[in-house]
Each structure stands twice: as C-alpha cells, then as structure tokens.
Structure 1
Amino acid sequence: MLVLVTILYTVISVWLAIYSFNGLYLLWLYHRKKANRASPPTPEIWPTVTVQLPVYNEAASITRLLTAIYALDYPNYQLEIQILDDSTDETTSIVQDFITNHQPDGILITHVHRKHRSGYKAGALAEGLLSAKGEFLAVFDADFIPPPNFLKKVMPWFVDKNLGCIQTRWGHLNRNDSILTQLQALAIDAHFMVEQTVRSRNGYLMSFNGSAGIWRKTCILDAGGWQAETLTEDFDLSYRAQLKGWRLDYLPDVVVPAELPPVISVYKTQQKRWARGSIQTARKLLKPLIQSGFNGWVKFEGVLHLTHYLVHPLVLFLLLLSVWMRFTLTETLQWLPWLTLTAIGPPLLYLTAAAPEAPDWKQRLKLIPALLVFSIGISLNNALAVFVGLFGPMEGEFIRTPKFAGQDQLISQKSKQNLNAIVWTELALAVFAFSSMVLAMINQNWGFVPWMFMYTAGYGGVVIMSLRLHQKTSFH
C-alpha cells in the first residue's frame, strides 16, 4: 500500500510540475517574441457582419448590451443584429421595447425567441447561424460592452482567407469591487495577455473564449457547426476548426470589458461549467488531435491546453496522499514535496500580466500570493466538475452565470450561498491541511509545511467567502 501511495504521489508531483514548467515555457516565448504586428490595410468594401447576442434571463444587463451594439461604428447596410433570446423572464419584453424604440436606418435586426432551450447557448447560436446574413459572425455575451470601433479594428485582419476566428481581450468592468473580483481579473489577464498571445503567435492551438470574438461563417460550417455535446461549445468548435486546417488569431490590443462574477457562489458555478466542459472537450477531441498531422510539440501543447483543469483533482489528491507520505518519505524521496513548489510558473505569469496592464502593478503584485492559495481553495469545487466531465454523460445542463450590472440589490437577491456539502468539505480539508502542517512541523518534514499552509489558507479563505455570503444573503 505504501509503495502504491509513494508511486501515486511521485506521479502527481511530476505531473503538476509539467504544467508549471509549461507555464514558464510560455512565459519565455512571450518575452522572446513581443514585437507588435503591423495592422492590415482597411478594406475597400467592408464585409457583411452578423452580431449574435445569445441571452437567457438577462434583464439586468440586456439594455446596456443593446446600447453598446447599436453604437458600433460600421456601415449599416453591412450589419445585422441577431438577439438569440431563450429567456423566460422580462428580458424578452425589454428586448422588444428596445427594438421598437430604436430603429437604426439600414440595420437588419432579428429577435429570435425560442420557447425551448434545446442545446442551450450552442443551440441558440446554431439556430441563428441558419438565417444569419453575414459572412462573419461576432458573438457577445450579455455582460460585455464592445467599444464602438470594435468591428473596424478586427475585421481588416480577415484579409487572410485561412483565418477562421479572431478572439479579442477581455477587460473588466468591476475589477476593484472586491478581493474576489481582483483575483479573477489577475488570473484572466494572465490567460489573455500571455497564454493567448503566445499560442496565436507561435502556431499553437488556441481557443475562442465564447464572447468578444468574430467567426468566419464558412469556418463554422466546415468544422461541423455549433455542437451542444459539451458545456464549452466555444472550446469544442475552436479545436474542431483548427483540426480542419483553419487558423485562429488573437488581438491583445482590442479590449472588450465584461462583468466578473461578484460573489463566490456565482464564481463557483461558472468554474464548474468551464471545468466540466473543458474535460468533455478533451474526451471528445484528444484522440483526433493525437492522430492529426500537427507536429509533436503542437500536439503536446494542445494536450496540456485541453486537460489544464486536471490540475485541480491533482492538487486535491496531493493533499489527501500527504497524510501517508508525511511519515514514509525515504531520504531518496525527500525532494518530492519541494517539487510541488516548482509552481513558480503561475505567479510569474500573473506578474507579467499585471505589469503592463496598469500603473498600479505593484499593488497587484501583492495579490499574487492570494491568487495562488485561492487557486488551491477552489480545487475541490473544480475537481468534482472534472470527475463529472471525465466519467459522467457528455450532455449536461448549461447553467448560465448570472449578470448583475453592478446592482447590489440583485446580487443579494440572486446569489444566495447555501452551506452545501461542498462548503463543509472545504472546511474539513482546511482543518485537515492545518493538522497536517502542525504534524509536519513536529516531525520536521519541512518540505510539507509551506504546501500545507497554502492548502489551509486556500480552503479556509474560500470557506470564509462562502460563510460571509451566506450571512449577508440570509440577512437580506
């Protein structure tokens, strides 16, 4: 039994180190190749664009979204707006009233209201695709606010006929609302500023992030269209398109601000969907990727990209195995706990993302330790979603992320945190990690101490956020 535990602990430690070292590799590529590309010339004739807005019960943010879309600077007769509405609340009437009161000359506006959410967001986009007039399709979720020049800054890049999709960078409307939103913003900045930039500039496979991007219609059709087989239809379509030979690109200088989940319960729900959907996509496409004609390194990077949410169950297993390893480490394996601390890749990614983004990057630097322990604290929530993605059915309910448009009353009303089994298990893990840290100190297993401290702080911090939200929403 102890031999098996030792083998598992070693494999998991090395596996996590691979993800971390890959972060360092991406960071090296980012700094090696930072030159900005020259913008392509403005087209003589702007291509037709359909703006697709998949919405579901977005009463708080739909007016703000439509106002931003109507303000887009683009030739009216080359622009179509599709409101793909699956709502069951007052969102539908708000949309109808807005359309009635705002009729831009020459713009074709279509309001598609489905009575059944067949296929969820993927189903809505697929239905819109059937009647879309545009050669290109821009997609925005309800909490995004594209700037007026969005289309004119992005569309010239499609001069490359092999370019199937362009993703732009997400900004943050409510970055400074709380410690939770600040941590999310820093993590998202690392993804967009470093990872997406490196993948797009170095020929690696990348993904459309579900919003603030534009697709070439022929690319979507060639790749098999929007499919609801996974909960991350964007990730799925991105890889299918690239496996078909299409190229995806990323424009870091085009920023579209969006709303971050303001409370821990909403954030957990969003993360569950992303974790489960990413692993479902890996189940679906790992084999075609490995069998594809891409070179070995592109495949390797693609495998790490598709499976990146496996980090969460690996982190959880490492904690559970530590109770045995704490007392059984031989001198040969004393280095193992220190191997887990090679997770220097993520903090350096966060630092790189924070530095060019704002003049207060030194202040954001202080968030990096908190983000590291928070990433551990969310691991139980995400690990459970990964297990469902690995072993459960491919189909699942697409649970939308509620949008609040900064309305505190709505946050209190619609984000109630029930103290469910996950919260109590997180508390138990925090106690377990703290006990393990104390015992490791008593037994002078110093390699375990910093790691157990991070587990204690991570799970403990997430529990405190949940308890505070429960207290606040219960009071209201």
Structure 2
Amino acid sequence: MTSAGTPSGVGMGESVGPSTIWLVLAWTFDIVFVIQTVFLFLYGAQYWFMSISFWFLKAGSEERCYSDQSYPPAPPERLEPYLQFSDEEIQYPKVLIQLPVFNEGAICERLLSKCLELEYPTHALVIQLLDDSTDNTPELVKQFLALVAPTKFRVEHVRRENRVGYKAGALREGMRLEPDADFIAIFDADFMPEPDFLAYTLPYFYNDKHQESPYYKDKLCSKGVACVQARWDFTNRYYNLMTYIQAVALDGHFMIEQRVRTHLGYYMHFNGTGGVWRREAIEDAGGWSQDTLAEDLDLSFRAQFRGWQMVYVNDVLAPNEIPPTVSAFKKQQYRWAKGSFQCVLKHLGNVWRQGNLSLWRKYQCTIHLAGYFINLIMTLATLTSCVLFWYSDRVSTLVGNLTPILIFVGLGPTAMYFTCILSKKIIPWMEIATFPLLVLLGYGMAYNDTLAVLEGSVKKGGEFVRTEKYGLVDGSGASITMSGSSARVTNGSAKSVTPAPTSKARNALVTKFSDYMGATGTFKSELVFSVVVAALLCLHIVLNGVSDPGQLMWVSIFFSARIFLVALVWHERRQTISHSFRNSMDPAFALAPHDAASARITRSPSQAALANYDHLE
C-alpha cells in the first residue's frame, strides 16, 4: 500500500480489495468529469464565437458576404401604399393575424385592441383569436367584441372542442379556416404589436437584396424568405429583479445570437411569436406539427431543410411580458427545454445528412439545437464534483488542472452579454451588475431543465403548459402580490385571485420549505437533489477539508444559485411591487365602457428601447 492509500498492485489469484475498487471508481469519475469539461468548453467557446463574430460584423466584415454591406436589407422608411386604406384597387397580400390563447382573459382585451390598431388595408387583413380556453375567457372576449363593434378588421373568434395539438393544433386549424391568406403573423396573448409592425416586416418577403445573403451565395436557400422574426422587447423589464435578469439574457439571445446567425447564414429559428410566416413555406415544410413542444423550432428547421430562408430583424420590436415569478419562469423553461431536446432527436440526423451544409454549419446547427443540453452537463458536473471531493487527494490532479478551462467556460456567457450591453448607445450599467445574478439564475435552473431534457429524450409531444400572464407594463399603478401559493393581481385594491396548484395532503411546513428550497415546490426531486448535494459536501468538508478549487467552484455556484432562488421566491411571497395592470377578468372592467385613451397601451416602451440601440445597418 502506498503512502497515498492506493494499492501498489494486485497479483495473480489475489483478491481485489476495497482500495482497488475505490481507485477504479475514482478514475471513472475523473474521466466522466473530463468528458463533461469538454462539452462545457464547446458551449463556452460558442458564446465567445458569437461575441467575436458580432464585433467583426460591427467593424464591417460583412463586406465579405454582402455586396451592399448591409444585410438583412433595411426596409423602406415606410410602405406608403400600406397606409392608403381607402384604395382597394391595389392588390395587397392577404394577412392573417393568429392569436393563440388559453385561459388568458385578463389580457385578451389588450391584445385585440393592439391588433385592431395595425396599419393595413381593412379588406386584406383578418384577425383570428384561437381560443382553447376552459374558463370564462370566451365570455370576456364576446363582451369586448360587442363593445367595440363594428371593428376595423374582421375578427374571428375560433373555438375548438378539444385542445388536440395544443398551440400547434390551434394554428393549424386557423390556417384551414383561412385558406387564401398569403402571410400569417403570430402573437401570443401577452404581445402588443406596434401599428406599423406589418409595414416594416412584409417588405423583407419582397426585397431582392436577400439574395445577397450567404443563404443564396452558399446555395443554402432556393425558395425565398419563409419567416421574418422581430426582436422581442419587454413591457415589464423593470418590474422586479427576476424580470430584469431575464431581459438581459433575452437581449443577448436576440441582439447577438439571432443577429449573428442571420448575418453569417447559419440556421436560425422562429421564436414562436412576434413574427410573420409565408403560408407557402409553412405548407411546403409540412405544416405545424405537435410531436414536439417546440413547434416553432421544429417548423423553422423543416423549412430551412426545404430551402427556405429565415430572417431576423433587429430594428422591428415586438413588446411582450416576461414571466415575473420563479414558478412561471420554471414552467416556461421546462417547456422550452423539453421541446428543444425533442427537436434534437427529430432533426439532428437530418442536419448531418444535409449535403449543402459545410461541416462548420452542421456543427453550428448542432450547438443551436442542443442548447439546453448544457443544463444536463452542469447537473452531472455538480454531482461528480461532490464525489470527486472524497478522493481529491488521490487521483484528481487532472481534474484540478482543468480549472482554467472551467473559468474560460464561465466567462463565455459573460462575454456575450457584455457585448450585448456595449452595443447599446446608452450603456445601462445596472445590467453589468446583474451578470453574477444571471449566472446564478442559469445555474439554479439547471436541474429543472435537466429533468425537461431527460423527459424530452424519451417522450414525444406532451402537454403545452401555459406560462402565466398578468399584463404587466412598467410605470403604472397596479400590482401583483405573491402570498403563499397564490398570485393576487390588483389595481389599487384586490380584483382577482388566481390560486396556484397545491396539494392539501402535504404538511404546510414541508410545503413552505419545498417552495423555498426547490424555488417553487414543483419538483420534489429537486429538493432531494439539493439536500443530497448539501449533505455530501458538508460531510466531506467536516471530515477532510477542501483541497480542489475546481470542484469547489461548481458546488459553490450550486449553493449560491439555490440561495439566490430562495431569495427570489421569498421576495415574491412577501413583497408587493406596483406596476401597470389592466385586469379585464373582473366583470367590473369587462362590462364598463372602454375609454380608448385608457385602454390603449403607449408605444413608449418599445420606442424608448429602440432609441438606445446601435444597429449593424
């Protein structure tokens, strides 16, 4: 036996002792940790690549790809013919506005009001409210439509007997009912499209400059533009710390990732809402499919496989609401993670079989599709770190040497989000201060998203769980109060209470502890996972101390993330924050005469945000 406690060798016929088994397990975990580090390195390098590519584009390197040095091409200042509502002799393309909703009566009024303000010829636009609700939303919609009748555009209130296919099924049914629509714009219930949204998105379907893009030059696209995706803006960015951090993260996704993918000719995806599709492209790609929960990502890749092009436009904004609570955020992320990994299993093979894609573009598609796989890797890294703590004095020297790589990985997302902030004309220094919290939120969500990835790997489709919407807008006078397991939305006084799902069988003390440790109590396994990691770490520190900073980093981030989520949940349960809300679920609001000035949301959130950004064009 060596001084380190490991066996010097095992002779013929000699039994294998506990030390040999321990050594084999030790090396096994070290190898697993190294493999995880390789995957983490690839994801971290991707963030660095996106950041560096963005700055090259800003410096004018797009000249290598685009003869006009500007792509996507900026649309005309205005589409003047689109404003001539009285001239019906001009042949305008017919546009179908699809609004899929489910039990969202509180904000359907606002959604319909904003869509009725769109600038487009009356005879060439139809609004479909695809209402699968099981509550009193249909009655509220009927009341609102009766109050505003006659409406500027034809409004169809579409009801289905069941929720077959969920959102994808509703969109498919809506298309069947309007077979002559040329273009289809999609907005979720919390979106507030600007009046000139169509005037600034439709030109991209007709602008010949898109043929200067890498899609055409590299023979990736042969059928034109399938979809134009606008940049999301956020009506409740400053509502609380939770929404502010999410806004910073989503800004990075849209302003850096989507932008770079469009400019370099990589596959990108429609974000599910806030965009316009060409009907021909949807049908050519096979239509909306319900075998994944990410119907937007699924259709985007199928369309691009068929030779269609996706365009992201940074200067067209689509204001919407960010989930203001941890529970709502976790539900949304769970659905996105599960659906994304279902698309990995469905499309990854097709990606690598595409003969017109270079090896680098195939790699980019893989990283794009498997974005949520990083959460599984981080969760496994936490568990293996806890195990490696127990024998770090034996064989984990190699793991300790990987610490610089882990630091490189950790700085990747920071570099991309910092790049996003620096691209704004007015640098919001508070966003820089949120970087550590953004890391903690992402790491704290790793286990939640890991469960989603695992479920998505073994199960097709699934229930489309709606993210709660409250109609929040920064800068007005109503509030949402989290108390215990319910969310109370008020406008100066209590107006309505929407109870969250609870189990009466659970002890109240256990419920509260589960809410705080698991951040919602949604997954009992998350609580068990947290307790097991805590027990392993604390026991080892008490017995042996700490010897490996690399392993300590992962576990320290894990506990910091748990504490941060607990603090957010505590804040939600105990604090009341005043912000804008118009609650049309209350009969007093639904039946009262609607004043156009008070019912209309101002354009200031979107326009103010647009003024703060610099543009590639």
Is the structural similarity TM-score above 0.5? yes
| AA at the equivalent of 2:358 | N
* 1:117 partnered with 2:184: no
| AA at the equivalent of 2:452 | A
* 1:140 partnered with 2:182: no
Q: CA deviation at 1:402?
A: 1.1
CA offset digits 1:210-242 (Å, max 9, x no partner): 000000000000000001100110010001100
Q: CA deviation at 1:123?
A: 0.3
Moved more, 377-386 or 335-344: 335-344
Closer/same/farther in 2, CA of residues 350 and 466 from structure 1, 3 Å limit:
same
The aligned residue for residue 424 of structure 1 is 527
CA offset digits 1:287-330 (Å, max 9, x no partner): 11111122211111111111110111110100100123231444
1:241 to 294, 299, 303: 303
The aligned residue for residue 560 of structure 2 is 457
The aligned residue for residue 586 of structure 2 is none
1:227 aligned counterpart, secondary structure: coil
* 1:268 partnered with 2:330: yes
Closer/same/farther in 2, CA of residues 471 and 366 from structure 1, 3 Å limit:
closer
| AA at the equivalent of 2:198 | L
The aligned residue for residue 369 of structure 2 is 306
Q: CA deviation at 1:426?
A: 5.7
Is the CA contact 1:434–1:456 (under 8 Å) kept in the aligned structure 2? no
The aligned residue for residue 440 of structure 2 is 373
Q: 2: CA distance between counterparts of 1:225 and 1:442?
A: 58
2:157 aligned counterpart, secondary structure: strand
The aligned residue for residue 129 of structure 1 is 175
2:487 to 408, 411, 432: 411
Moved more, 121-130 or 418-427: 418-427
Unaligned runs of 5+ in 2: 1-24, 61-69, 82-90, 208-222, 473-478, 489-496, 501-514, 577-617
Is the CA contact 1:212–1:256 (under 8 Å) kept in the aligned structure 2? yes
Q: CA deviation at 1:46?
A: 3.7
Runs of 4+ in structure 1 off by over 6 angstroms are: none
- Provide the aligned length of Structure 1 versus Structure 2: 472
* 1:385 partnered with 2:457: no
| AA at the equivalent of 1:96 | K
The aligned residue for residue 380 of structure 2 is 317
CA offset digits 1:182-223 (Å, max 9, x no partner): 111111111001000011111101010000000000000000
Q: CA deviation at 1:95?
A: 1.6
Closer/same/farther in 2, CA of residues 321 and 439 from structure 1, 3 Å limit:
farther
Q: 2: CA distance between counterparts of 1:172 and 1:40?
A: 23
1:60 aligned counterpart, secondary structure: helix
The aligned residue for residue 16 of structure 1 is 40
Q: CA deviation at 1:438?
A: 5.0
1:195 to 249, 252, 257: 257
CA offset digits 1:108-153 (Å, max 9, x no partner): 2211111211100000000001122320000000001111110001
Moved more, 205-214 or 2-11: 2-11
2:347 to 279, 285, 288: 285
Q: 1: CA distance between counterparts of 2:533 and 2:92?
A: 57
1:250 aligned counterpart, secondary structure: strand
Closer/same/farther in 2, CA of residues 250 and 441 from structure 1, 3 Å limit:
farther
Closer/same/farther in 2, CA of residues 315 and 436 from structure 1, 3 Å limit:
farther
Q: 2: CA distance between counterparts of 1:290 and 1:6?
A: 31
Q: 2: CA distance between counterparts of 1:29 and 1:191?
A: 14
1:82 aligned counterpart, secondary structure: strand
Q: CA deviation at 1:440?
A: 11
| AA at the equivalent of 2:181 | G
The aligned residue for residue 398 of structure 1 is 464
Q: 1: CA distance between counterparts of 2:367 and 2:119?
A: 39
Q: CA deviation at 1:61?
A: 0.7
Q: CA deviation at 1:3?
A: 2.1
1:143 aligned counterpart, secondary structure: coil
1:78 to 124, 149, 160: 124
| AA at the equivalent of 1:56 | F
Q: 2: CA distance between counterparts of 1:440 and 1:141?
A: 54
Is the CA contact 1:273–1:385 (under 8 Å) kept in the aligned structure 2? yes
* 1:39 partnered with 2:74: yes
2:50 to 5, 16, 26: 26
Q: CA deviation at 1:434?
A: 6.1
1:209 aligned counterpart, secondary structure: coil
Q: 2: CA distance between counterparts of 1:304 and 1:439?
A: 40
Q: 2: CA distance between counterparts of 1:59 and 1:235?
A: 27
Q: 2: CA distance between counterparts of 1:220 and 1:333?
A: 48
Q: 1: CA distance between counterparts of 2:339 and 2:367?
A: 15
The aligned residue for residue 493 of structure 2 is none
Closer/same/farther in 2, CA of residues 81 and 441 from structure 1, 3 Å limit:
farther
Q: 1: CA distance between counterparts of 2:374 and 2:250?
A: 17
| AA at the equivalent of 1:299 | K
Moved more, 263-272 or 330-339: 330-339
* 1:445 partnered with 2:548: yes
Q: CA deviation at 1:175?
A: 1.0
Is the CA contact 1:76–1:105 (under 8 Å) kept in the aligned structure 2? no
Q: CA deviation at 1:275?
A: 0.5
CA offset digits 1:68-116 (Å, max 9, x no partner): 1001111111111111110111211122222223346662221111121
Equivalent runs, 1:222-261 vs 2, <5 Å = 222-261=284-323
2:229 aligned counterpart, secondary structure: strand
| AA at the equivalent of 1:181 | T
Moved more, 290-299 or 190-199: 290-299
Q: Give TM-score, length-normalised by structure 2.
A: 0.72
Unaligned runs of 5+ in 1: none
| AA at the equivalent of 1:134 | A
Closer/same/farther in 2, CA of residues 368 and 438 from structure 1, 3 Å limit:
farther
| AA at the equivalent of 1:414 | T
Q: 2: CA distance between counterparts of 1:317 and 1:440?
A: 24
Q: 2: CA distance between counterparts of 1:122 and 1:458?
A: 34
2:565 aligned counterpart, secondary structure: helix
Moved more, 432-441 or 92-101: 432-441
The answer to which structure has the higher helix fraction is 1
CA RMSD of aligned residues (A): 2.4
Q: CA deviation at 1:339?
A: 1.8
Larger radius of gyration: 2
Closer/same/farther in 2, CA of residues 426 and 252 from structure 1, 3 Å limit:
farther
